[in-house]
Amino acid sequence: MPFWEYTDRNAGFNALFNDAMAEDSGMMNLVVGDCCGAVFRGVESLVDVGGGTGTFARIIVAAFPGIRCKVLELPQVIGRLASGRNSSGKLEFVEGDMFQCVPSAGAVLLRMILHDWKDEECVKILKKCKDAISSKGEGGKVIIIDIVMDEKKEVDHELVQTKLNFDMVMMFMLNGKERTEKEWERLFLEAGFQRYKITHLFGFRSLIEVFP
């Protein structure tokens, strides 16, 4: 049974998976701090695609009060939440499917999402994200937090091994993969984007800004 189908059918595992992702999101306060805070400055509206229970979205809203954030998630995830909006009104949960439609926003965030999927599925997701930022008429951008494979340039053997391990896990569990910069570039071009910028984060993650 495919992984995502299993999570849909097994409420207990679904809850465990989302709790684990929330714990990982808690580390992302480093991203909105000294590391890459400038990436979010000037953004007025943002959609966190597949943002789970909203842990990272709450970090963003707290760090940047001017940002209104929507978390796009499946109904079974949002159904576990006590409320679809936070007390400040700056955070909202929206039920939906990223393969069908992404709400319009100045920026769209994909955090550890695309490595779950095959290339053709990634292109579909990216095209929906491009539609979302283009509909605002402000240019916009897609912000991707994911792994960039570059074992030939890496000097940290343990870091290389961690990335390769993730690649194996994605392949066997989800039929996905980790990608090199060239592989990322091909996806962006096929989805209709013009340019991108990669910034290395802590550990094995990188942040990629993609522009139409």
| Domain CATH code at residue 22 | 3.40.50.150
Sign, CA torsion 42/48/53/55: negative
Q: Say which residue, 41 or 155, is predicted with more confidence.
A: 41
Rounded to whole angstroms, the Cα distance separating 136 from 116 reads 28
| Amino acid sitting at position 10 | N
CB 166 within 8 A of CB 204: yes
Q: What is the mean pLDDT of residues 191-212?
A: 89
pLDDT in tens, 152-177: 566 656 666 666 666 566 666 667 78
Q: Which of 84-93, 133-142, 198-207 has the lowest mean pLDDT?
A: 84-93
Q: What is the mean pLDDT of residues 133-138?
A: 72
Q: Is 153 a domain residue?
A: no
Q: Is 140 a domain residue?
A: yes
Q: Is 174 a domain residue?
A: no
Query: What's the pTM value of the predicted model, to 2 decimals?
Result: 0.81
200 a catalytic residue? no
Helices H, strands E: what count in the chain?
7, 9
Q: Is 81 a domain residue?
A: yes
Q: Is 161 a domain residue?
A: no
H helices of 26-108, in order, are: 55-63, 75-78
Rounded to whole angstroms, what are the CA distances from 13 to 21, 49, 98, 102, 114?
12, 20, 21, 26, 21
Q: Is 51 a domain residue?
A: yes
Q: What is the mean pLDDT of residues 138-160?
A: 75
Rounded to whole angstroms, the Cα distance separating 180 from 187 reads 11
In 3D, which of 69, 58, 68, 72 has the Cα closest to residue 29? Answer: 58
CB 47 within 8 A of CB 108: yes
Q: Per-residue pLDDT for 19 more than 60?
A: no
Q: Say which residue, 83 or 58, is predicted with more confidence.
A: 58
Q: Which residues span the domain enclosing 203? A: 3-147+184-211
Q: Say which residue, 80 or 196, is predicted with more confidence.
A: 196
Active-site residue, from 58, 68, 115, 205: 115
Q: pLDDT at position 136, please?
A: 61
Rounded to whole angstroms, the Cα distance separating 127 from 58 reads 26
Q: pLDDT at position 22, please?
A: 52
Total domains in the fold of the chain: 1
Q: What is the mean pLDDT of residues 187-200?
A: 94
pLDDT in tens, 72-111: 998 888 877 765 555 567 899 999 999 999 999 999 999 9
Q: Is 25 a domain residue?
A: yes
In 3D, which of 76, 22, 87, 82 has the Cα closest to residue 53? Answer: 22
Q: Is 169 a domain residue?
A: no
Q: pLDDT at position 1, please?
A: 53
